[in-house]
Amino acid sequence: MTTNEWNCPWADETDCAVTVCDTEGTVLYQNARSAAVNGDVRGRSLIPCHNERSRAVIRRLLKEGGRNIYTIEKRGVRKLIYQTVWRREGRIGGLVEFSLEIPAELPHYVRG
């Protein structure tokens, strides 16, 4: 897929940053929030923007599938980062990252 083939109207108006790349790390899609935070990097590789540890995680995800989930704090704003593969016809097509702002105190509920 190319950047021109991505149309995600649901992501365009969501309150989190959504970034999608292919198996080579080329950014195929960014919603407005992602572009505001990261700059418009569509059509460019996200690999150079990451340190070696992060690159290893990206390589592992693209090879094996799975997900990488963690929290960060940047400029006083806490965020949940959820990275997972996306698939097309059962094959890994790339990664999608959701970056969601979260409050300092986050309720946790156990449901049965």
Instruction: Answer yes or no: is 32 within a domain.
Output: yes
- Angular region, 39: left φ>0, alpha ψ -120 to 50, beta rest: left
Residues 14/99, Cβ–Cβ less than 8 Å = no
Q: What average pLDDT values come out for the chain (112 residues) when binned by 10 residues?
A: 67 91 95 93 92 95 96 93 96 96 92 92
Structural domain of residue 30, as residue ranges?
26-102
Q: Residue 65 falls within a domain, yes or no?
A: yes
Extract the tokens encoding 57.
Answer: 């995680």
Half-sphere exposure of 50 (CA within 13 A, CB side): 12
Instruction: Please report whether residue 56 resides in a domain.
Output: yes
Residue 11: inside a domain: no
| Predicted pLDDT of residue 12 | 84
**Domain for residue 111, yes or no?**
no
**Tally of domains in the chain:** 1
60 in a structural domain: yes
> Is residue 96 assigned to a domain?
yes
Total-model pTM: 0.89
**Residue 17: what pLDDT?**
96
Residue 43 resides in a domain: yes
